[in-house]
Amino acid sequence: MSAEWPLWEVFVRARRGLSHVHVGSLHAPDAEMALRNARDVYTRRNEGVSIWVVPSERITASSPEEKDAFFDPAADKVYRHPTFYEVPAEVKHL
């Protein structure tokens, strides 16, 4: 048997109050070993208080080729931003 261990994506929460952020990937035979390996590879200097590991093949990503069409719907809706609205200068707390 020479099959390579599956690839896992690693997400680390740096501190309480922050969300998990992608930090890289690694190989491991199962989820438990992926967590242990992630601890050794990505948090040797107290970089995290919590780790998620996700099999890389289970991630669905948007395609960069469709980037423009995919994100276009948001491009012409400037009225979703507060700066779109004109308010007299003397109005406070708005």
Partner 1 sequence: MAGTDEQEAAFYAIVDSDGRIEPRDAMPEAYRKTLIRQMAQHAHSEIIGMQPEGNWISRAPSLRRKAILLAKVQDEAGHGLYLYAAAETLGVSRDHLLELLHTHQQKYSSIFNYPTLTWADVGAIGWLVDGAAITNQVPLTRCSYGPYARAMVRICKEESFHQRQGFEALLTLTRGSARQKAMAQDALDRWWYPSLAMFGPPDRESTHSDQSMRWGIKRFGNDELRQRFVDMTAPQADVLGLTIPDPDLRWNDERGHYDFTQPDFDELFRVISGDGPCNRQRMEHRVAAHTEGAWVREAAAAYAAKRAKRAEAAA
Contact flag: residue 7 with partner 1 (CB under 8 A) = yes
At its nearest, how many Å lie between partner 1 and the CB of residue 19? 18
Q: Please identify which residue in 59, 61, 69, 87 interacts with partner 1, judged by CB under 8 A.
A: 61
Edge to edge, what strands does the sheet with 50-55 contain? 21-27, 7-13, 50-55
Q: Please identify which residue in 13, 20, 25, 39 interacts with partner 1, judged by CB under 8 A.
A: 25
Helix (H, G, I), strand (E, B) or coil at 52: strand
Pick the closer one to partner 1 by CB: 2 or 19. Answer: 2
Instruction: Please say whether the beta carbons of 34 and 54 come within 8 A.
Output: no
Question: Cα dist. 66→20, 59, 63, 72, 89 in Å?
Answer: 27, 17, 5, 10, 42
* Residues forming the site for partner 1 (CB under 8 A): 1-5, 7, 24-27, 29-30, 33, 40-41, 44-45, 61, 63-65
